[in-house]
Amino acid sequence: MHTLRSLLLFAILLISLLGSGCLDGLETKAPDHNSMLVILGDATGAIQGALDELERVASMTAASLEKTGIAGPDAEAVLKGRISSYPPVLTMITCNANGTVVAAEPESVKVLVGQDLSGQEVVQRTLAEKVPVMSGMFPLAEGGNGVAVAHPVRSADGKFLGVISTMFVPYDLIRPIAEDAANGTPYTFMVIETGGHILYDPDPGEVGKETFGDALYAQFPEIDRVARHAAANRSGYDTYSFYGTGSDAVVRKETFWSTVSLHGTEWRVMVIGEG
């Protein structure tokens, strides 16, 4: 009888601890939705601002090339000056109306001069449609992943000259913003393309992976569902299970997301809390 009473008291104590969210001095709290939405708004606004600034730089460069042309020392000086004044830009190249590279900066990419890039998505679309375009993420020869913003370039009298393509690394653009927004909170950020590729994650090893069908996520089918939900909706909320941040333990996660965009290309910015 004494043993039964002891077990009953222990069970009551355990239920009480679990109900209060405390066990062995550890407190587990459900994510605070209001806080998540506030920092999501801050991060989304800052990332959109960074994209808008990138667009401003690309547009200014295209306007300058109207005066200098897209090839030769004067054009190269314009490209070099823009890169040095705006660190997020990794490279700038110009292609003529046939898609052949005629100028490139910095020095490390001058090997591209003379190459035909008419088959590259962002160049192809800009040549065909003659409107600004932001590409999807693509692998870089030197490693990592890049995104390009391309603008048509015309001469002062309106003749179409070609394309200026400005390339940056989305992870590098997003990381300081996401880290600043999440600092001092229990939340993390992930940014994905609507096609499912991960542009930013606190774990750099996740960047570039495709949430649709990647073997890493095969045992977590909810991730595919959430990624498709986010791809189809500019904002929303969902839950799923995955490894905890910096852990091998599987935890329940909640996410809200919003959208940033440039030239019709959209990114989903997701704030994530672990319950």
Domains in the chain: boundaries:
49-170
Q: Does residue 29 contact residue 35 with C-beta atoms inside 8 Å? A: no
pLDDT tens-digit map of 188-232: 999 999 998 999 999 888 898 887 666 666 778 888 899 899 999
Task: Give the lowest-confidence range in 16-30, 56-70, 252-266.
Answer: 16-30
Q: What's residue 63's pLDDT?
A: 96
Q: Does residue 256 contact residue 271 with C-beta atoms inside 8 Å? A: yes
Q: What's residue 213's pLDDT?
A: 64
Q: What is the CATH architecture assignment of 49-170?
A: 2-Layer Sandwich (3.30)
Q: What's residue 151's pLDDT?
A: 97
CA 206 to chain centre: 12
* First-to-final CA distance of the chain: 39
